[in-house]
Amino acid sequence: MTRQEKQPSGWRKAAWVLGGVVGLALLLWWGESLVFPYPVGPKQPLPFSHRIHTGEREVNCFFCHAYADQSQDAGMPEVSKCLLCHNEIIRDFPPIQELHGYAARQEPVPWVRVYQVPDYVRFNHQVHMTAGVDCGECHGDVKKMDRITIPQPITMGFCLECHRKKQASVDCTVCHY
């Protein structure tokens, strides 16, 4: 066999390269699901881990989501609230330095919203909390999530099933305008 015969043809090289790229993409895609016990939620502007904050450090959800017991929107913390801890804790960590940049520019962190109900749905966290609904029934075990994801679709069927199970009203006007 001559040296020229041993080298793969152009289409074989392309197939090997394409196979390698596809294999790498699959490894990266599956790799995240192997590392995180939950599907990975949307990429956020700063890498915030709910697992570390609420799980390991036991920060109460309402410390950051101050409006969760009062309104439809749980609210996102002001940068100044994050800095109550991060003025001292891991201050030199690059994402925390980015957080300080938001503070210096007086800009909120542009978090990507994960949960969104349609405009025609009336939802109030406070009503659910008063009724004893655990946050995890809708949001999953946040203490184990790095990036927040929706563990199950929040659909009308999902809500109706829960209302029926808990013997709550299924009258249309309770949830819809």
Structural domain includes residue 139:
yes
Structural domain includes residue 170:
yes
Is 162 found in the same domain as 138? Answer: yes
- Both tokens of 148, joined, read 């927040």
Range ranked top by mean pLDDT from 110-114, 149-153, 169-173: 169-173
Q: Quick one: pLDDT at residue 38?
A: 45
Domain that holds residue 19: 3-35
Average pLDDT, the chain: 83
Cβ within 8 Å of residue 124, ≥6 positions away: 71, 72
Q: Quick one: pLDDT at residue 161?
A: 96
**Weakest mean pLDDT among 21-30, 62-71, 140-149:** 21-30
Is 68 found in the same domain as 30? Answer: no
**Which percentage of the chain shows pLDDT scores above 90?**
51
Structural domain includes residue 171:
yes
Number of domains the chain contains? 2
Q: What is the pLDDT of residues 31-78, one digit of tens each?
A: 444 444 445 788 899 999 999 999 999 999 889 998 888 877 888 999
Is 121 found in the same domain as 65? Answer: yes
Q: Quick one: pLDDT at residue 73?
A: 80
Is 58 found in the same domain as 29? Answer: no
Is 171 found in the same domain as 123? Answer: yes
Structural domain includes residue 40:
no
Residue range 149-154: mean pLDDT, rounded: 87
Is 159 found in the same domain as 118? Answer: yes
Structural domain includes residue 122:
yes
pLDDT classification of 4: cutoffs 50, 70, 90: low
List, as one string, the DSSP characters of 67-134. Answer: TTTTSSS-----HHHHHHHHTTTTTTSHHHHHHHHHHHHT----PPP-----TTB---HHHHHHTT--
Structural domain includes residue 101:
no
Structural domain includes residue 134:
yes
The Cα–Cα gap between 101 and 109 comes to: 10
Is 115 found in the same domain as 30? Answer: no
Residue range 121-130: mean pLDDT, rounded: 88
